[in-house]
């Protein structure tokens, strides 16, 4: 399906009207310093302000976590909003009416159908909730009370009850104007056709599944009767619901600010009980194993995720799988282990919030080594050898020398092998030989960074590339003479593309609008580099940048021509190459004259 797009002229007007300082100020306490505003980054924890806002370019950039973009992208990050909702929210703040948008064929019909299904789900959730408080719903209400839930938390999560009757909900919603076909499509009714529709959920405690935008997408139901299997039943995939892409309580996660972590548990009741006890930022998967899509979604709400599955063997096995998924998704992850085989719901009800707060999360390497030890038999040589070999595989993934040393000592103490033997098995006789970073270390560095982080550090080591970045930065704010600037002087393809867009008249905000993830990271970091207080300072640097860029390009051409002249055996071609060497040498000599670029201006 083609993505809905707003007219370019309307977007330009919106960006011109929006004051990014005013938009950001409710989220960050900003202080002006020179031409920029600075504050503590809302996207990662820091003590020294590294978050900058440029009213001149209408952009933000954090020099700590590398988050950056235009005013719409700030709203997307701060509010966890999709692009369209962020644009519409900004337009509302600016009191700008939405334009007619270019739409793909059939979009209006799909939107109308989606709205109908979401409306049906919303009405069903309200109906289930009302039914819970009736005499007929008392059995399920008593069950919830028996699990320690209070009225306030029941209402906060919108918990409900479905009757044992075959079609009570179906009749109620058709009377409100919904068709049986719509109810079947939404997963509220089941049947071969609309004439045979009956309630999908019967005689169950109902848990509405609500996304981060407040839409009721689906339901989970727990039966209290053995004759109505399965024990847990969830809505199947529908046009508005995909169980791989969402999590339970996403709507509450969105409302939390400055979460240190998200706690991922297995069951809906775990989430409700922990939330009632005062544990913030808790979510659960939707009746399936963790998926990459869910891992990425959870990573948007906090710097790291703690996996707190049930303490039994099945739960621990699921944790090991979840760790791999989070690491592959680049999400920092740790494990919260519940002792004695308890699940989070049982633990919090039996031992209280103080005991919960006392639990210490483990990083993936420590958790995997602990699990390995539990499965190992160290009473014989064969078992000890297998234990050390497996432990060495895990330790090899750890990049931090100090962390490695702790694990090596622990394995030595458990196995009886000396340090040199274990290190030899790890393949790291010295800390400097550490292999590629572990998933945990990769995840830490990936949070809010992306490709720009590596490219920035590369620029710091390469003076030529630093000059290219500065040239594009100056071009963005109008301090680089366009008539003298040549994109072909830039070796970096990404910088060249950005420069070409600037020369064509696109604003920095517009460039970020349509940029790929990598191009956005690069452009945001480059645009943020402009920091000159006086225009004459910027012009001096611009002149120097142009000179260095030309010299770099000419030097490379000179080296290539010289090599060609040395290797050429044909007299005519060799004479032409030598002529080109002399021409390039003359150009470089002229460029090195202090006033050359000023004269060119």
How many structural domains compose the chain?
Answer: 5
383 touches 377 (CB < 8 A): yes
Q: Report if residue 102 sits inside a domain.
A: no
CA angle (559 as vertex; 554, 565 as ends), nearest 5? 120
Same domain, 165 and 219: yes
pLDDT at 495: 85
Q: Which domain CATH number covers 565?
A: 1.10.860
pLDDT at 542: 62
Mean pLDDT is lowest, of 20-29, 266-275, 453-462, for 453-462
Same domain, 537 and 469: yes
The pair phi, psi for residue 442, each rounded to 5°, is -60, -40
**201-219 tens-digit pLDDT:** 999 999 999 998 789 999 9
- End-to-end, the C-alpha distance of the chain in Å comes to 50
Same domain, 115 and 221: yes
Q: Report if residue 99 sits inside a domain.
A: no
Q: Which domain CATH number covers 357?
A: 3.40.1360.10
Average pLDDT value for the chain: 83
Q: Report if residue 245 sits inside a domain.
A: no
Same domain, 355 and 476: no
Q: Report if residue 2 sits inside a domain.
A: no
Q: Give, in order, the Cα–Cα distances in Å from 453 to each of 346, 435, 499.
A: 43, 20, 20
Mean pLDDT is lowest, of 113-117, 163-167, 524-528, for 524-528
Q: Which domain CATH number covers 67?
A: 3.90.580.10
pLDDT exceeds cutoff 50 at 444: no
Torsion-angle region of residue 214: left (phi > 0), alpha (psi -120 to 50) or beta? left
Same domain, 224 and 166: yes
Work out the pLDDT band at 248, boundaries 50, 70, 90: very high
Same domain, 548 and 564: yes
Same domain, 391 and 337: no
Q: Can you state the angle between helices 419-426 and 381-396, rounded to 10 degrees?
A: 60
Which domain range does residue 533 map to? 463-600
Q: Give, in order, the Cα–Cα distances in Å from 169 to each of 181, 203, 333.
A: 14, 12, 41
Q: Which domain CATH number covers 200?
A: 3.90.980.10
pLDDT exceeds cutoff 80 at 250: yes
Q: Report if residue 353 sits inside a domain.
A: yes
Same domain, 142 and 20: no
Same domain, 134 and 224: yes
Q: Report if residue 432 sits inside a domain.
A: yes
**176-189 tens-digit pLDDT:** 999 999 999 999 99
* Among 61, 93, 125, residue at a domain's last position: 93
* Among 207, 234, 261, residue at a domain's last position: 234
The pair phi, psi for residue 297, each rounded to 5°, is -60, -45
DSSP type of residue 362: B
Same domain, 543 and 584: yes
Work out the pLDDT band at 164, boundaries 50, 70, 90: very high
DSSP bridge partners of 264: 283, 307
Report the distance separating Cα 195 and Cα 116, nearest Å.
Answer: 20
Q: Report if residue 451 sits inside a domain.
A: no
Same domain, 117 and 223: yes
Nearest of 182, 133, 181 to residue 160 by alpha carbon: 133
* Among 93, 124, 155, residue at a domain's last position: 93
Answer positive or negative: Cα dihedral of 179, 181, 182, 187.
positive
Q: Is the pTM of this model over 0.75?
A: no
pLDDT exceeds cutoff 80 at 464: no
pLDDT exceeds cutoff 70 at 107: no
79 touches 24 (CB < 8 A): no
Q: Report if residue 421 sits inside a domain.
A: yes
368 touches 394 (CB < 8 A): yes
Same domain, 14 and 60: yes
């Amino acid at each position: 399906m083609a993505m809905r797009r707003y007219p370019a002229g309307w977007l330009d007007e919106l960006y011109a009207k929006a004051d990014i300082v005013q938009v950001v100020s409710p989220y960050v306490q900003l202080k002006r310093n020179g031409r920029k505003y600075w504050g503590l980054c809302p996207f990662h924890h820091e003590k020294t302000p590294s978050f900058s806002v440029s009213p001149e370019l209408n952009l933000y950039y954090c020099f700590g976590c590398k988050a950056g973009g235009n005013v719409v992208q700030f709203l997307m990050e701060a509010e966890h909003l999709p692009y369209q909702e962020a644009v519409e929210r900004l337009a509302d703040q600016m009191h700008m009416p939405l334009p007619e948008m270019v739409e793909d064929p059939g979009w209006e019909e799909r939107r109308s159908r989606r709205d109908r299904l979401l409306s049906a789900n919303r009405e069903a959730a309200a109906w289930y909730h009302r039914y819970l408080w009736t005499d007929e719903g008392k059995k399920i209400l008593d069950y919830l009370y028996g699990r320690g839930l209070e009225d306030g938390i029941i209402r906060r999560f919108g918990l409900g009850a479905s009757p044992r009757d075959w079609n009570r909900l179906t009749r109620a919603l058709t009377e409100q104007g919904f068709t049986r076909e719509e109810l079947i499509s939404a997963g509220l009714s089941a049947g071969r056709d609309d004439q045979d529709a009956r309630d999908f959920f019967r005689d169950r405690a109902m848990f509405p599944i609500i996304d981060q935008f407040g839409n009721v997408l689906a339901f989970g139901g727990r039966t209290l009767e053995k004759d109505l299997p399965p024990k847990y039943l969830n809505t199947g995939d529908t046009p508005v619901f995909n169980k791989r892409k969402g999590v339970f309580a996403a709507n509450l996660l969105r409302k939390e600010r400055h979460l240190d972590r998200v706690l991922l548990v297995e069951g809906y009741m775990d989430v409700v009980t922990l939330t009632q006890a005062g544990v913030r930022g808790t979510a659960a998967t939707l009746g399936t194993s963790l998926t990459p899509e869910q891992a990425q979604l959870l990573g948007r709400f906090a710097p790291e995720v703690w996996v707190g599955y049930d303490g039994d063997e099945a739960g621990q096995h699921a944790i090991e799988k979840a760790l791999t998924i989070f690491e592959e998704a680049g999400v920092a992850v740790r494990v919260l282990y519940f002792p004695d085989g308890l699940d989070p719901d049982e633990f919090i009800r039996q031992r209280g919030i103080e005991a919960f707060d006392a639990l210490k999360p483990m990083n993936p390497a420590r958790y995997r080594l602990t699990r390995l030890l539990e499965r190992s038999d160290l009473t014989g040589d064969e078992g000890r050898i297998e234990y050390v070999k497996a432990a060495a595989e895990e330790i090899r993934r750890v990049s931090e020398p100090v962390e490695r040393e702790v694990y090596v000592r622990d394995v030595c103490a458990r196995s009886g092998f000396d340090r040199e033997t274990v290190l030899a098995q790890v393949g790291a006789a010295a800390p400097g030989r550490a292999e590629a970073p572990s998933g945990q270390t990769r995840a830490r560095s990936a949070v809010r960074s992306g490709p720009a982080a590596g490219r920035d550090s590369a620029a710091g080591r390469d003076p030529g590339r630093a000059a290219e970045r500065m040239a594009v930065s100056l071009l963005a704010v109008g301090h680089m003479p366009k008539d003298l600037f040549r994109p072909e002087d830039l070796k970096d393809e990404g910088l060249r593309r950005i420069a070409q867009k600037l020369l064509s008249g696109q604003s920095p905000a517009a460039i970020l609008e349509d940029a790929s993830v990598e191009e956005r990271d690069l452009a945001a970091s480059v645009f943020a580099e402009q920091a000159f207080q006086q225009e004459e300072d910027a012009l001096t640097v611009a002149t120097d940048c142009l000179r260095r860029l030309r010299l770099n390009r000419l030097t490379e051409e000179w080296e290539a021509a010289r090599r060609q002249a040395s290797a050429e055996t044909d007299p005519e071609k060799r004479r032409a190459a030598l002529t080109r060497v002399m021409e390039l040498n003359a150009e470089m000599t002229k460029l090195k004259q202090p006033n050359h670029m000023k004269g060119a201006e």
